[in-house]
Chain A
Amino acid sequence: MRKSGRQLFAGPYLIWIIGFILLPLAMIIYYAFTTSGGTFTFENVAAIADPVHVRSILLSLKLGIICTIVCLLLAYPLAMILNGLKIKQQNFVVFIFILPMWMNFMLRILAWRLLLSNNGIVNAIFQFFGFGTVKMLNTQTAVVFGMVYDFLPFMILPIYNSMARIKNDVIEAAKDLGASDAIILFKIIIPLTLSGIISGIIMVFVPALTSFVISDLLGGGKVLLIGNVIEQEFMQGTNWNLGSGLSVVLMIFVIASMALMNIFDKDGGGTAVW
């Protein structure tokens, strides 16, 4: 009796879920499968096969995968080093590595624009050493730089958390039994941190795949990701149905990539980073 009474506390939230989570999703799906006149159509979703859209989704996948791999390669050794520090140092160092993540996202992009621009710091250093000016801003490289900078902490934290859970005894036992460092890394540490790696990959890949701001501000309008195409349909064009159709396709890509990663994640709880 008391228990069923307590359930009622979730009532307002249930209404909120229906009104502001499920209904908006229903709207976007409705728009995706109708014309502006309201008749049913597959055209908006099928428009993904348009060469322009294919190119942008392939570019999104490419940059997203590069960004995820770079983040993983940077974050994994970092997490191992962090984990090897003394506890007191550890808290401090982790603090330092997540602090930039707390600064406004837009300002981090601003910083990279300053660094990479033709009269920016990086080029000033290049010129000092006689390399001449290298055009970096408004290229795909700049976009990847921005993405890695923005999303790196999302890779560091889950890997570091899963590494911190490994008991030292296990590693010592392996050492006593004569395992080399490489064997310990590949047979013990990597398998035990797999769920952290997977949630890191999801948390970096999904925002990288769907980003439109980084490509807009660091790519100077020349790097057209699928997010940019969708954004333009809504903000500059007027074809909301097409924009919704492409959004639904993007959503399918996100779900598919998560499902794909979950196959590798045997113990489940990996996504619970927060």
Chain B
Amino acid sequence: MTGAYAVRDSATMLRRNLLHLRRYPGLSLFPLLMPVVFLLLFVYVFGGTLGNGLEAGGGRRAYVEFVTPGMLMFTVAGAANIVAISVAMDMTKGIIARFKTLRIWRPSVLAGHVLGNLVLTAVSLTVVIAVALLIGYRPTAGPLEWLAVAALLLLVAVALTWLSAALGLLAKSVETASNMPMFLFLLPFLGSGFVPTDSMPAGLRWFADNQPFTPITDTLRNLLGDQDVGSSGTLAVAWCLAITAAAFLWARYLYNRRPGD
């Protein structure tokens, strides 16, 4: 059974993807920079007005507290997007046919992409958090809460990256692949990421309250603000695990298809 090689083959493929990241950094630069630009844009351009809507006279300072957890979700979604492109690009290469004729753990090719992207996501999140702290973000979380934040962000990243990998396999071209996970960028906006959902019109609010990004963003926000997490924590973890399982099985199915099967 090739399952016995899951860890070893995935580690081998991770090494391949890290070499790619190092030698072809063009693709990874954009998702690293974009969340920082958006953070500055939202805090300095919109933040004064939006913050006043959160609490009277709250302004920019109140908004940076509110938006940073949403921006972390945006960062994860942006980094996940890259994997759809890198997977779609890889599938056009002759070496994939070679991998498919080897007795290896088959999903390891995809796992290499996912794991490599998680490294990129971690770097990107660190940069965003550092910039947020520089511009006045003051989370009250203790070490345990920070640990929980890191763990939840990892779960989200794993879920969205596998989903994006599946979309990359589904795409017929690299161009399509770069557009497919775009909806992931929108979800933080259509949730509790940038404004409270109770400020939205009824239909949109229903969607915002029930889509997966909202409980995850709320949990991050509560952990970072040292508040009670409540039921959103369980819901957040459940969403992550469900998306990961479904996306993994979907991606594996798409990759394993033999034309004509």
**Is chain B a partner of chain A in the same complex?**
no
* Residues of chain B at the chain A interface (Cβ within 8 Å): none
